[in-house]
Structure 1
Amino acid sequence: MNTQLLVVPGIIVLVIVMVDVAWTTLTTQGSGPITRLITIAVEWASAKAHAVFGNRAVLVAAGPIAIVAVGSAWLLSLWAGWLLIFSAFPDGVIEAQSEQTAGLVDRIYFVGFTLSTLGMGDFKPGGDVTRLLTALAAFNGLVLVTLIITYAVPLVQGAVARRKLAFSISLLGSSPQEMVWRAWQNKNTQGFENALGQVSSDLIQCSEQRLAYPLLDLFHCKQSRFSLGVQLGRLDDALSLLTEGLQPNYRWNSFTVGNIREVVSHYLNRFEKRSNNGHLDMPPLPAIGLLKSKNVPLADNQDDAFDHLKNRRVRLHRLVRREGWKWSAVEAEDQADELSP
């Protein structure tokens, strides 16, 4: 066999890997094909494990596992590509002292420490071409490790930002009707809408982070008050009550409320670019017992009021289920630890 032919598949492997790395880490258009396959595999495995064991720990671990899996796949693929290229030169790698030709295991070892830029020195390139290739491989390895680190850090920051936003929304109330009652009781429209304005700004940032870093969908929380999907479902139902569920003269249809509903729709659009949860029914209408007891002027027929919101609430239901929760977590904080099957 002509070993020089190994250069071609080696270069192909390197190109595929580095295109995937650059696409994933240097653009804002989601993941490359390799990263996307790994993300889907980890997500599927964690969802199946959660369904079997009913423990959110497997979901919480999915994000870190995905980062390690993606980084390992990139590194091993790069290692394999450079091994093919160095194997195309029979005398391309030699033992430093005896200058004997390196075997397969020695070449694997040589490529490994070259990519890591450790420079052990017990093996060395055996010619001008392989000396140049060694320099390129070392630079390639340095670039890859740097990109892995610079990709992982924003992922963790994005996960923290989502938890922060979810917690901020949870402070508005532990259920949709409690959110409505607090806003109604305080008669503090400006304060409520100021809070909505901040939520809207933070949610736009989370939406764009989601587009740039699809792996963020694998970062789950143990408590629903830190789950952005649950809190968005709760907030949106509260806004639906304020804009549709009250009597006509009392409905809140301000610019701020309309704006945040558009932002929630934008977030759902980002989510649905890679979501495939199958058919889901519209979740139950939000409870209104507390509001009735407090004489809040509710519309006579809540079914009619919410009828045109069916598609929107199904989309929110899909988001909540994607994060491993039942819709009951949206309705009450004391059911926050209830897991979806």
Structure 2
Amino acid sequence: MNYLYLILGILLFVLTVMDLIKTTFSSNGGGKITGAVSKGVWKLFFVASGKNGRPKLLSYAGPAVLISILLVWIIGLWSGLFLMLLSDKDSIVNSSTLTATSPLEKLYYAGFTLSTLGVGDYKATTDAWRIVTSLVAFSGLAFITASITYFVPVLSAVGLQSKLSLYISSMGKTPQQLLLNSWNGKDFSSFYDNVSDLCQMLMQHTMNHHSYPVIHYFHNSKVKLAIAPAIVLLDESYHLLELTGAKDKLKIEMLQTTLKTYKETMKESFLKNAKAHGAAPTPDLTQLYKAGIPVKEPEQVKQVFEQELQEHRQLLTALLEKDGWTWKEVYKP
């Protein structure tokens, strides 16, 4: 008995199972193995796309991440059982000749046991190995099925992400345009009418990030369907609304709280120690003044956006850059 192989096999199998359970059954994010694989695959696609959000190559990163995670789980379970069987040269024998099996045959046996195929051309020699075989077969059936069904809510969450992006971008292509489209000559009541729906979708999207962090790596090369520019656009619009003395305090408070929660979630999970390389522009409010919208004086606006919101907007810059975008997608020329 080779105890090194046995310990390594048990350890690898248990670590894989723990990561799989943490990712598929927990509402607090994925396991460490899943996180490392996700970041690694995303980085490969991101670098290959020139760190630009527009190439279509980046839109394949999300599916590639899911497939890679599934493959890592299968390989982890398969390798763990293989090492356990390899620890005992007589653990598995040929069903017909009862001769000892080679390492390659043990690898084959581990694979069809996990997949519950039950071919039967090889068999365990002792009660202990028969029990191990049965336990692993049940584990394979349960965990591989769970990992595949995990894809369904993830894809649903990705659909909501695109829906939220399109909803925000349809209200206006820039923060100034969003305010102009919402202004009826007296107030922004048409914008407030949509705040409840916006907050509901954004809260659900934030909760999805807690449960399925992998959705962050599902990228859309179309700006109007990309989540990062949409969130920044909405956040900038909110701060511009504050400078108009917006009166619907309830809706404003709802929007502020929802945006803050989302940004905190991103800061804790994807923007740890993230550094912004670009600078956030000061919005040009000429069109708003011409439309008679009661925005504060340019000097006050400049102070708010360049000083009071400086640290906050650096976070937004990092959010855009981590997804391959810049402020040009928010404040379009």
- TM (normalized to structure 1)? 0.90
Q: What RMSD over aligned residues (CA atoms) do the two structures have, in Å?
A: 2.0
Are residue 292 (structure 1) and residue 284 (structure 2) matched? Answer: no
Are residue 254 (structure 1) and residue 253 (structure 2) matched? Answer: no
How far off its partner does 1:60 sit?
1.0
Contact 1:243 1:253 in 2 (8 A): no
User: How far does the alpha carbon of each residue in 1:129-183 deviate from its partner, in whole angstroms, 9 at most, with x for none?
Assistant: 2222211111111122112112222211111111011111112111111111121
Distance (whole Å) between structure 1 residues aligned to residue 313 and residue 68 of structure 2: 34
Distance (whole Å) between structure 1 residues aligned to residue 62 and residue 125 of structure 2: 43
How far off its partner does 1:4 sit?
4.9
Change (3 A) 1:54 1:231: closer
The 5 Å alignment of 1:1-341 reads 2-51=1-50, 56-185=55-184, 187=186, 189-244=188-243, 246=244, 250-252=245-247, 254-273=249-268, 274-275=270-271, 276-280=273-277, 282-301=279-298, 302-306=301-305, 307-332=307-332
Distance (whole Å) between structure 1 residues aligned to residue 289 and residue 188 of structure 2: 20
Contact 2:115 2:140 in 1 (8 A): yes
* 1:51 alignment partner, SS class: coil
How far off its partner does 1:69 sit?
1.1
Contact 1:277 1:318 in 2 (8 A): yes
Distance (whole Å) between structure 1 residues aligned to residue 313 and residue 11 of structure 2: 46
- TM (normalized to structure 2)? 0.92
Structure 2, unpaired ranges of 5+: none
Structure 1, unpaired ranges of 5+: 336-341
Distance (whole Å) between structure 1 residues aligned to residue 175 and residue 320 of structure 2: 15
User: Which range is displaced more, 86-95 or 152-161?
Assistant: 86-95
Aligned residues: 328
Contact 2:85 2:91 in 1 (8 A): yes
Change (3 A) 1:55 1:313: closer
How far off its partner does 1:253 sit?
5.4
How far off its partner does 1:298 sit?
2.6
User: Which range is displaced more, 94-103 or 3-12?
Assistant: 3-12
Identity %: 26
Distance (whole Å) between structure 2 residues aligned to residue 219 and residue 231 of structure 1: 15
Change (3 A) 1:272 1:305: closer
Change (3 A) 1:192 1:186: farther
